[in-house]
Amino acid sequence: MMISTAVLGAFARLPYPPPEIGGLIGGTDDEITEVFVDEGGESARPNRYRPKTCLLNSVIRHWSTAGIEFRGVFHTHFAFGYEMSDEDRQYANTIMAAMPPRIGSLLFPVVVPGHAVSSYLMTRERGQQHLKLDSFHMFEEWRR
Ligand SMILES: [Zn+2]
């Protein structure tokens, strides 16, 4: 799945604090064109961004009136933490399982602000969900 240059730019400019932040991404089946940054994640624990369900639902509703599909959830990690944790994977499974059947895939980018983004794609087929690394972008490659 493509991530638009504008969204990659928004990822690159995210602050680099503890705690983790994250948010929602949207667009079409082929391209991520929208990002909603949620600075106040549900959990105060570092390394664990979870959007509130009510926030998730309200953004999805708002986007759908504008013809934008909900396409996934991103969150930040600290330096060189490009991989999804076991908790991240469990969470991605839970989100996917809650989606209506017409949504066959979601993207879960892990952003290390200022460094890179690794995007994991969750797909499902006949009730089975699969998660794999879909793309890896170094921010240096296109930032200017
Ligand atoms: Zn994580």
Domains, the chain, ordered by start: 2-76+94-102+109-141 (3.40.140)
Q: For residue 39, how far is its CA from the centre of ligand 1 (angstroms)?
A: 15
Residue 142: band (very low, low, confident or very high) from pLDDT cuts 50, 70, 90: very low
HSE of 134 in the Cβ direction (CA atoms, 13 Å)?
19
Could you tell me the pTM of the whole model?
A: 0.89
Q: For residue 84, how far is its CA from the centre of ligand 1 (angstroms)?
A: 5
Q: What is the mean pLDDT of residues 47-76?
A: 88
Residue 86: band (very low, low, confident or very high) from pLDDT cuts 50, 70, 90: very high
In this structure, what are the phi and psi dihedrals at residue 58, rounded to the nearest 5 degrees? -70, -35
- The pLDDT, as a whole number, for residue 70 is 94
Residue 143: band (very low, low, confident or very high) from pLDDT cuts 50, 70, 90: very low
